[in-house]
Structure 1
Amino acid sequence: MNVKDMMSEIKDANLNYLMMAKQLISSDKATAMFLLGISKEIADLLESLSNMQVVKLSSTNMMLTRFRFDDSAVLGMLTDYSKDRDQAHLHTSVLLASQSAEQIT
């Protein structure tokens, strides 16, 4: 994959993320904030963006989202299927929910 293709993929991912985020926020803001790991201020800002602003923001050449975890143990819980998968995902959700929005965003 060359740099031009990579930048195009990043822009597509940004647009998809922003559109999904706006849809989640408009349907259930509290759940969206939890699922996206964002603060109320960010949720309000994303909700207020026009379609043109979403397209413009998504066209940046850097990812607008990132993994919500910096700990390899959390990634291990999500990918270790030797244990009960639902229990591992629930435990991971609890760990991520305990982080404040400022730590995540």
Structure 2
Amino acid sequence: MTTSNINDEIKELNLAYLMLAQQMLSADREVAMLKLGVGEDVADMISKLSPGQILRMATGDMLICQFRFDDTLLLNLLSNHDRDNQAARIHATILAAATPVGHIA
């Protein structure tokens, strides 16, 4: 995969992420903030972005979204296929909810 292809994939992911984030925030703000791992200030900014601003933000070559955890336990819970998937996801959600929210934008 070339650098150009990678940059195109990043742009597509950024656009999809920002559009999904806006949709989630308008549907259920509190749940969206938890799932996105963002605080009030970032949620406000994302909610107020115009389509043009979203396109400009998406066209950068840096990922806008990022993992909000550096916890191997949480990663293992989300990726472990040997355990009961629903119980593992609930446990992961509890751990993620207890993690301080970063200011990701």
Q: TM-score, normalised by structure 2?
A: 0.93
Unmatched segments (≥5 aa) in structure 2:
none
Counting only pairs closer than 5 Å after superposition, residues 1-105 of structure 1 correspond to structure 2 as 1-102=1-102, 105=104
Question: Deviation at 1:28?
Answer: 1.3
How many residues are matched?
A: 104
1:75 to partner: Cα distance: 1.1
Instruction: Note the alpha carbon deviations across 1:12-34, whole angstroms, 9 max, x for none.
Output: 00000000000111111111101
Mapped partners of 1:69, 1:5: distance in 2: 27
Name the CA distance, whole Å, in 2 between partners of 1:25 and 1:78.
23
Q: After alignment, is 73-82 or 19-28 more displaced?
A: 73-82
Separation in 1, partners of 2:74, 2:99: 13
- What secondary structure sits across from 1:69 in the alignment? coil
TM-score where L is the length of structure 1: 0.93
CA distance in 2, matches of 1:40, 1:11: 25
Partners of 1:79 and 1:10 lie apart in 2 by 23
Runs (4 or more) in structure 1 with deviation over 4 Å come to none
Secondary structure of the structure 2 residue equivalent to 1:75: helix
More moved, 79-88 vs 17-26 = 79-88
